Structure 1
Amino acid sequence: MPPRPRSPKPLGTITRGTTNPNRLRRVDRWLAGPEAYRLRRAVDPLVVDLGYGAAPVTAVELFTRLRAVRDDVEVVGIEIDPARVAAAAPLARPGLAFRQGGFELPLDGRRPVLVRAFNVLRQYGEEEYAAYWDEVRSRLAPGGLFVDGTCDEIGRRSTWAALDPEGPVSLSISLRFGAFTLPSDVAERLPKALIHRNVEGERVHGYLRALDRAWLDAAALASFGNRQRWVETCRAVKGDGWPLLGDASRWRLGEVTVAWSAVAPG
């Protein structure tokens, strides 16, 4: 889609900005895993951590993790609060920079191949997220990906929606074993596009119920560990016709990804 005209001022509002070290390890592992091909084939390996918060730790971690994929990657942390940008400046280094801005992505005309925005849009109104999704998508490089996600305070329960320049692609759930009773416990961490849709009759509600049923049905495998039980849960859900993406190598990590069409708001 063609880029939107550049806004004269940052798009968005200052959010709470709370963060913790290693909080985004689950989505970073996904970006450096099954989605790493996007970075490897990019003409310009530019990555954005959008709305990194009061401390730049997650931007630094993203830079370190993606450097293992491609050693010439550039990460730009973008924050709307100028005080947060100033506080992050001492951590800048070759390949890692910080800029003031918002969803308009002030990158001097460059198009990022990856944009990660975590715990950002969940603080906006439900009527706002779609416009911001479109804004960021319009600025992606061809084959780029925008990840809009949410997680708990220390990253044990995490979800994210992935969007390419054409629109939403998938929903991922990633859980630490032992940090949930039922898979649907993650519902309070769904992206803004879905968090209010977890009600009877909506696709995402049906998906979470399917995960719960399969998890309970696999209870006999608990003696072999929650990893085995989760793998069987995902296998059963896929067998029931849910369009899961990826395979057991991801399921063993407590992660599962489904095509967006299966959970899109009705």
Structure 2
Amino acid sequence: MPIGSITRGTTGTNRLRRVDRWIAELPAFRRAAEALVVDLGYGASATTTLELHQRLSRVRPGVEVVGLEIDPARVALASLSARPGVRFALGGFEVPLPGGRSATVIRALNVLRQYDESEVLSAWHLMVSRLDPLGVLVEGTCNEVGRVASWVDVTAEGPRTLTVSLRLADLERPSIVAERLPKVLIHRNVPGEGVHAFLRDLDRQWQLNAALSVYGPSQRWIATAQGLAEAGWPVQGGRSRWKLGELTVLWEAVAPQGFAW
């Protein structure tokens, strides 16, 4: 039997475009001999799975994408939209793949949001066990239109980074992402926790660089990322990612108190 609970199934066109763009740049995806990507918990329609394949196939024309859902009715409906390189199947956190194959990337967006925080680690371990040795689990949350998103990338060694991705136009405070943090962090946005300090300093740098708005929000965001790095935060990437409204930090800087892989 599939492992997990049926989600609300909320989905929508372009909702996951930010995380799709990030996955397309992952070294694990680009260097895989045969890229097999799993869209876990795609929801009530095939939309986000089909979009994932469309975006990734621009980088890897032969990529395979498998959409997994634990609701048989959703699988039956989505299967009507199957096409070369895209198929749909019944499955949950156990990530069943034919022939015992392993996944290059597992995308699980807006799946663990409905679970208790205490259930996250076991779900992570189960999904990671279905990855190839260099594979990556990308797990996180976004808002209904995909303009506010965050995710953690997890490997066999444990979580590596936290990424936030925001639509910069008209952004008042980056800490709006607090409402869309991955489940493992969303209840840790309190004094004394790393993610709370990170969001506090992110807001501070955004305000300090407000004058750069005359050059556009991307320039302000780039300066915000640089300011965080100068303040000692382990900011990853560079201007090419920052200008998209992304910011990635190493996991150890935001990991919950007492977290152990």
TM-score, length of structure 2 as denominator length: 0.96
CA distance in 2, matches of 1:70, 1:154: 26
Q: By how many angstroms is 1:227 displaced?
A: 1.0
The residue number in structure 2 matching 1:4 is none
Is 1:41 aligned to 2:56, yes or no?
no
Select the residue among 82, 90, 93 that pairs with 1:92: 82
**How does 1:82-161 map onto structure 2 within 5 Å?**
82-108=72-98, 109-161=100-152
State the identity %. 57
What is the CA–CA distance in structure 2 between the aligned matches of 1:187 and 1:71, rounded to whole Å? 36
Residue 71 of structure 1: aligned partner:
61
Change beyond 3 A, Cα 1:136–1:110: same
* Letter in structure 2 aligned against 1:158: A
Distance in 1 (CA, whole Å) between partners of 2:228 and 2:118 is 31
Query: How do 1:1-266 residues align onto structure 2 when only pairs under 5 Å count?
Result: 9-33=1-25, 35=26, 37-108=27-98, 109-266=100-257
In structure 2, the gaps of 5 or more residues are: none
Q: Distance in 1 between matches of 2:29 and 2:159?
A: 19
Secondary structure at the residue paired with 2:80? helix
CA displacement at 1:199 relative to structure 2: 0.2
Letter of the aligned partner of 2:152 in structure 1?
A
What is the distance in 2 between the residues matched to 1:138 and 1:179? 41
Question: Contact (CA 8 Å) 1:156, 1:179: kept in 2 or not?
Answer: no
In structure 1, the residue corresponding to 2:11 is in which secondary structure?
A: coil
Contact 1:129 1:193 in 2 (8 A): yes
Q: How big is each residue's C-alpha offset from its partner over 1:70-93, in whole Å with a ceiling of 9 and x where there is no partner?
A: 111100000000000000111111
Provide Cα deviations, 1:27-57, integer angstroms capped at 9, x if missing partner. 0111112x1x322321331100000000110
Q: In structure 1, the residue corresponding to 2:200 is in which secondary structure?
A: helix
Residue 6 of structure 1 corresponds to none
How far apart, in 2, do the equivalents of 1:26 and 1:40 lie?
17
- The one-character-per-residue Cα deviations of 1:147-171 (angstroms, maximum 9, x if unpaired) are 0010000001000010011110100
State the SS of the aligned residue for 1:163. Answer: strand
Instruction: Give the partner amino acid of 2:240.
Output: S
Checking the alignment, whether the CA contact within 8 Å between 1:44 and 1:112 is kept in structure 2 is no
Deviation of the 1:179 alpha carbon: 4.8
SS at match of 1:201: coil
SS at match of 2:117: coil
State the 1:178 CA deviation: 2.5
8 A Cα contact 1:198 1:205, kept in partner: yes
Residues matched between the structures, number: 256
Distance in 2 separating the partners of 1:52 and 1:221: 39
Computed over aligned residues only, the root mean square deviation of the Cα atoms, in angstroms, reads: 0.9
- Hey, which bits of structure 1, 4+ residues long, moved more than 3 A? none
On the 8 A contact 2:148/2:165 being kept in 1, the answer is yes
CA distance in 2, matches of 1:159, 1:183: 11
One-letter code of the match for 2:122?
Answer: A
